Every structure is written in structure tokens, then in C-alpha cells.
Structure 1
Amino acid sequence: MEIEKLSAMEAIRRRPHLYLGDTQRRRTLVVRAVLDTVLAVDCSWTRLEVRWTPEGTVHLEDDDVSLPLDDHPQGRPRLERLATELFAGCGRRPRGMDLCLVNAVSEWLELEVRHPDELYRQRFEAGQPQRPHGAPARAPRGTSTSFKPNPALLGEDEPLTPESLLHELQVRLAAEEQPPAVTFESVPDGLVLTRTAPA
């Protein structure tokens, strides 16, 4: 019997429940996308805003620029590798560990990283990378991540609400051994997270 070898993207697409559970996968995906920044060891964010539209698009905006923009020795941009290859990790880890998961189960994903001296933008369609674009830097520095979860892969969830997302984030953070100090503010169709100095 020949064993079928699957890419990370295909493995996630075929069995999303192994990564996101059996219910409320869309909400879990958004939580994973938020925590990818919040729990990253090398991330210097102070404010993170997550919003969603009635059409299902999710948009995250923060003031961190720790995602790598250089090329991997194999020749591909490191950011592209993070969005298309699955990396093992748990607890507090470098930013970008869950990008592949988000990308794999989304109809499309767009990344924009604004460094003080460089802007990098790349779009992914059904998980496949499109040509990246570089441009002169523009303010404010930070990272934008937009994606549209694919209901054909995730199923139909209850609508996202600030209250449900806040509850899920608080539960996940409480389970961390050394959670960052974070305050939350509900906004229309969204949530704003602010990192505070520990007491």
C-alpha cells in the first residue's frame, strides 16, 4: 500500500478539525491568529485591533514589525514560508507560527508589513502565494493581516461577537504559564487589545 504524502497546506485542508476542533472553528481560527501575535516571544506590539465584516472578512492591525522580510537560504521569502509551511511549536514562540494554519483554511489572505525603511505586501489565493510587492516605507509602522475564512472547510459558525471572542481569548490566556498583561476594549464588530506593563 502506497502512503500518500501531503503538504502541510493539504493536510490542514483535509482535516481542519485536528487543528481547530469540531465546533466554532471560525472563532477558534481568529483566536489563533490573535494569539500568534500576543504570545510571540519576539513581538513588541503594544496595540492590536481585530475587526470583522458581515461578509466574513477578518482584519488584524498591530504596531509590531517582527515578521521577517528577508529571503530564506532556499531563495523564498521567509514570510512566504511561514504562510505555506507548518512549523511545530507550543506555548510562547516566534511570531508567524500559525500563519500557515490561517492561510490554509482561508479563501484568501493578505499580509502587509511596514518597517521604518521598507513596506512588504503579499497576497495568497486558496493558500497559494502571489507575487510579493515591495514599496517605499509609509507610516505608521506595523503589520496588517486580512483573511476570509473558507466556510466550505470550517463549516458555518455562530456569528462572531466581541463578547464571544473576548471570552475565548481570556480562557486561552489564563491557561498560559506566563501570560502577557493585556486589557480589552469592545468596539463595533471588533476588539482592541492593549499590552500593559506588569504590576
Structure 2
Amino acid sequence: MSKEYNAGSIEVLSGLDPVRRRPGMYTDTSRPNHLIQEVLDNSVDEALAGHARNVEVVLHKDGTIEVSDDGRGMPVDIHPEEKVSGVELILTRLHAGGKFSSDNYRFSGGLHGVGVSVVNALSSWLEVDVKRAGNLYRMRFAGGDKQSELEVMDKVGQRNTGTTLRFLPDPKYFDSPNISISRLIHVLRAKAVLCPGLHVRFVDNTASGDKSRSDEWYYEDGLADYLQQATQRAESLPAEPFTGSLQGNEEGVDWAVLWLPDGGELVTESYVNLIPTVLGGTHVNGFRTGLIEAIREFCEFRNLVPRGVKLSAEDIWDRCCYVLSAKMLDPQFAGQTKEKLSSRQSAVFVSGVVKDAFSLWLNQHTADAERIAEMCINNAQ
């Protein structure tokens, strides 16, 4: 017989208990890769805001992961209402962060205030070093619980600032404790491509001897180069990607796009505030709409489409390779893993910008434009 259900049966989870109880609601539990990405996103947000130029990720033999940047450093002063340091607040409270408004970060990926606190909750231990205001501060946690107070460990120069997080993911929360190196490298390289001027360094010490590796990426203007390198084994149309960029007060978009007429492995990558949106979303829908509307107008103006044939979005989307990077003040995602953008206004903004730019490009590059049009028409027939 079931127990009586009353108010006393209601359980209230506090602190980081919700994360430990239902980790799959907050992160990808197949591997610890997403924990690295959460910490990395905070570092890249500092770069987006113009405060960091270097980010480093190090994998150690004992499974420890280290992510460091030369940004401003986490706030170390006492929060006026919560009466704990900014570091402790960020790492131990869900929905605590400096990115809910645009006062500190114009565009950022950490929007829910749960990212690094999730990392803390799902790690056997976590240690944070903060260089700020001429001091090196340190604090340590175990299983998400505070093990030491925020302490001054040393003196540093006033200009020497930044944050370093070292943590050991707790294997009981993941299907596999092993980091997918290929996926991590892909994310790191993409961050460098999408954030011009940012130095991204990766060190893998998990392998012994000569098998350890070190990689570094830096791009001043990387979208077109990135797409060309990824598709260099196949004939592309046009030979150099069609690229564009527009930055507004509340939104921005950058893109590079080309087609593979003879087929091949397609590159279809989209990002919002440098967060990879592997399931696409409204920004990708707007991008596709802008492309098809521009090509339709071009074909109609030149009477290229045979009678009875109508071009659809899929006709231009077939064999299309693109890298799309959108930036927004307050993007809305389908979940904490941020794999799909749901902000409706993004579709309108991106489609309008891309349509105008692509229409202009098509009329300035008529030979390539007619080949693209022919490919789309063949797809439609």
C-alpha cells in the first residue's frame, strides 16, 4: 500500500543537489566534454567582451582538466546580499552569474548562470585560482561542497589577471570518463575561428612520452579560411566562400557559405555567441530563408527557371556548406546544453541581412551565380 501523499512528501532540493540528482537535465552525460565546454565558454565570454586574449585547456594524466584565461578574473569581493565571495557564489549556486543583463557582457554564451556550478557539482574536486587586484586567490571544493575559504596565496602584478579552474570529473555521472579529444579539438579550433584575435592553446598530457601533444590556433579573420580548409578536397562553388558580416546594437551575424556541386562531406556548423548549436535553430532557419529568397529573385529577374518548376529551400540547401555565427544580447535556447536556438527574432534578423547581402553578391558575380542557380534548378526538377 502506498504511503499517504501530503505536504510532507514534497522534497525541496537546495544548492547543487538538483544537478547531482538529475545531471542529464544540465549537461551531456555521455562524456565529460560538456563540462570543459562550460568552463571554456566563460573564458571565451571574457574574450568576446574584450578582456581576454589567451585561453588554454590542459588534460593531465590523472584525469584532471585545467582551463585558464587572462581575463578579468572572477569577482572576489563579498556579494552585498548573499554575504559570500563572488567566486563562491558562482561555483555553488544555480542561476548565479553576471550575464543576465548586458551590463558586464554584451554578447555571451553563459546565460542561465548554471554552467560552472554544474561543473563543480559533477566533479570529485575542483580548485579555482583567481588573479585579480594584485593578488592570487585560491578556493577548493569537493563534490560541489566548499573545502576551503577563498584565500590569498601570493602577490601578482596589477595587470596580471585571469582565472584558472582545475577539476576532476566524477566518473559516476558519465557513461564514459574519457574525453573525446577529436570533439574537444573541434570546439577549441572553432572558438579561435569565431573570435578573431583570440589565442587558443590545447595541451594533452594524457598520453605518455612522445605521444603527448600541443596545438595552438589563432585567426585574425578565420571564417572563410576555416570553411575552405574543411572542404579543400572537393570542388566548390564559388571557389572562395561567399562571406558576410553585420553587427547591430542587439544582434550580429557572420557567415561563410559555398556549395559542393559534385557532392562530398558537408560542413554545416552554426553558433550563437560562440556556443555550437549542433541542432541548428531559428538562426539557421533564417539563414536558409535568406539564401533561397535571394536566389529566387535572381532567377526570376533573369527568367532562368523553366515553366512549372518552383524552387524550394531544400533545393538550395542541398550540397550547401556553411559556418554561421550569430550574436545576440539575450538568446533563448531549447535547453541548458544550448544545442538549438529558439529565439524567434533571430530568424527575421538573419534572413533579412543574408538576403540583401546574397542578392548583391549574386548580381556582382553573375557567372558563379548562374552556376548556383543551375544547380538549384536541377535539384528542383
Q: CA RMSD in A?
A: 3.2
Q: Which residue of 2 aligns with 1:38?
A: 44
State which structure, 1 or 2, has the greater radius of gyration over its C-alpha atoms. 2
Query: Secondary structure of 2:26's partner?
Result: helix
1:180 aligns with 2:198: no
Q: Greater helix percent: which structure?
A: 2
Which of the residues 65, 77, 80 maps onto 2:85?
Answer: 77
Give yes or no for contact 1:42–1:95 (8 Å, CA) kept in 2: no
Whole-Å Cα distance in 2 between the matches of residues 197 and 116 of structure 1?
33
TM-score, structure 1 length as denominator?
Answer: 0.79
Identity %: 26
| 5+ long unaligned stretches in structure 2 | 101-106, 206-213, 223-244, 246-381
Q: Return 181-190 or 129-138, whichever deviates more.
A: 181-190
Give yes or no for contact 2:66–2:167 (8 Å, CA) kept in 1: yes
- Alpha-carbon displacement from aligned partner over 1:56-99 (angstroms, at most 9, x marks no partner): 10011221124111001232111101100011768715799422
Q: 1:96 and 1:118, CA in 2 relative to 1: closer, same or farther beyond 3 A?
A: farther
Q: 1:183 and 1:143, CA in 2 relative to 1: closer, same or farther beyond 3 A?
A: closer
- CA displacement at 1:119 relative to structure 2: 2.0
Query: Secondary structure of 1:17's partner?
Result: helix
Which of the residues 165, 171, 184 maps onto 1:165?
Answer: 184
- Alpha-carbon displacement from aligned partner over 1:155-183 (angstroms, at most 9, x marks no partner): 3244442x320224567x69xxxx53346
Within-5 A mapping of 1:1-199: 1=5, 2-24=9-31, 26-40=32-46, 42=49, 44-73=51-80, 74-87=82-95, 92=108, 97=113, 98-129=115-146, 130-138=148-156, 140-161=160-181, 163-169=182-188, 179-181=194-196, 182=198, 184=200, 186-189=202-205, 192=216, 196=220
Query: Secondary structure of 1:64's partner?
Result: coil
Whole-Å Cα distance in 2 between the matches of residues 15 and 69 of structure 1?
30
| 5+ long unaligned stretches in structure 1 | none
Task: Tell me: higher relative CO, structure 1 or 2? Use CA pairs within 8 A at least 6 residues apart.
Answer: 1
TM-score, structure 2 length as denominator?
Answer: 0.44
Q: Return 71-80 or 137-146, whichever deviates more.
A: 137-146
Instruction: Give every structure 1 segment of 4 or more consecutive aligned residues whose post-TM-superposition deviation is greater than 6 Å.
Output: 88-91
Q: Which residue of 1 aligns with 2:329?
A: none
Give yes or no for contact 1:68–1:79 (8 Å, CA) kept in 2: yes
Whole-Å Cα distance in 1 between the matches of residues 132 and 29 of structure 2?
38
Q: 1:193 and 1:127, CA in 2 relative to 1: closer, same or farther beyond 3 A?
A: farther
- CA displacement at 1:55 relative to structure 2: 1.9
- CA displacement at 1:6 relative to structure 2: 0.7
Q: How many residues align?
A: 192
